[in-house]
Structure 1
């Protein structure tokens, strides 16, 4: 059985990606940070469908914890799947926060850097020796880093996601010698818990976002999760170094 690692899978896009990947017969090691129950809920949803999953704690903003996480992954791979390697990595964990350029603090900028760019960089570096040749990586970026998604208040957040888009291409270039494909998905406005459950706290923004979307609604986690699962699969075997916008035609 192939095995995927999905970070930030206790809710939203990561949770959907983990479930969709498992539905394709792939074992899943999923991570959570502050929402342990959400991680366990994801495991339960996968197991209910006959899949196999294990949840591990991980703060992608703390790169010093990555060697210990790698050790936990080694143990889980051996004990659950009888393997010493895994096949796929989804760098999804992150957070979002709106801040106008003039209001962005160094503290917030540095946190964005640690979680959204440094984290995926060094977590992938730490786990790469455990990846099987011919595997795949998917990074979750954002359409806020693309011309179609420019909105005031996301200069720092989008700068890190833009860096991740560039990193995706370099990973694809360097990992290709091992047959490892690397792509990214760039969600548009998606109904998740991002920005402290902003969609729950400010439901009035939803109609305005839907009106700016060609397909007439905001995204749902499964809209993104199914694309991530597809990019890991054999059906996407000839796709690498791409950043695919999944936004329903935002600002089209």
Structure 2
């Protein structure tokens, strides 16, 4: 039995990934921060598919809580799957906010560092003893860190996501001795609750984004979830150290 940890899976890309991973037969430990109801909806969706999932609280911006989280994971593994290790880790939890360079405060910058870069770095370090040899890690980055997704207002956010791309390559190098593959997925504009539920609040932005996308629509969480699940799977077994853009040809 394979098991996966998916952070930030109460909605959006995290939920999409958790469901797609469960569809492929893995048990899922999913985390939430401020949306426990959404996390339980994700668990219910997985259970409806015949899978098993457990939701645990985690604030990815508070690295001092990671050892206690690891203990919670150990208990969930033992109680639900009679296991003592995990096969996959998906570092997805985060937040997004537009802020022009000249308006970006040190407080916002430091929050981006803590949540988007420091959080995945030290959570992965904390969970490493539980991760099986031959397992896999996927970090969720963003095409805002790529030339195709370069838009004004994301200098701080994209800088942290770019750091996560570099971290992905280093982890792939260092963890290869254990047969652990590490990749990242860079979504383009995707219909999620990111940026304070912007797509729901401002539906007028959808048509222009679709017009800039070669495949003619805005991305859905399921689109990204499928790519993440593939990279974790045996079919993705010869892929490591890659940052794969999943954006439908945005700005192509």
TM-score (norm 1): 0.99
Deviations 1:104-141 (A, max 9, x none): 01111000000000000000000000001000000000
**Residue 57 (structure 2) pairs with residue 57 (structure 1):** yes
Match of 1:13 in 2: 13
Match of 2:168 in 1: 168
Deviations 1:63-116 (A, max 9, x none): 010000000001111111111111000000000000000000111100000000
CA root-mean-square deviation: 0.4
Following superposition, the deviation at residue 13 of structure 1 comes to 0.4
4+ residue stretches of structure 1 with deviation over 2 A?
none
Q: Show structure 1 runs of 5+ residues with no match.
A: none
CA distance in 2, matches of 1:147, 1:233: 28
Deviations 1:217-242 (A, max 9, x none): 11000010000001000000000000
Equivalent pairs counted in the alignment come to: 252
Match of 1:42 in 2: 42
Match of 2:212 in 1: 212
Deviations 1:8-62 (A, max 9, x none): 0000000010000000000000000000000000000000010000000000000
Q: Secondary structure at the match of 2:30?
A: strand
Match of 2:202 in 1: 202
Match of 1:113 in 2: 113
Following superposition, the deviation at residue 211 of structure 1 comes to 1.0
Q: Show structure 2 runs of 5+ residues with no match.
A: none
CA distance in 2, matches of 1:191, 1:85: 33
Match of 2:24 in 1: 24
CA distance in 2, matches of 1:149, 1:195: 16
TM-score (norm 2): 0.99
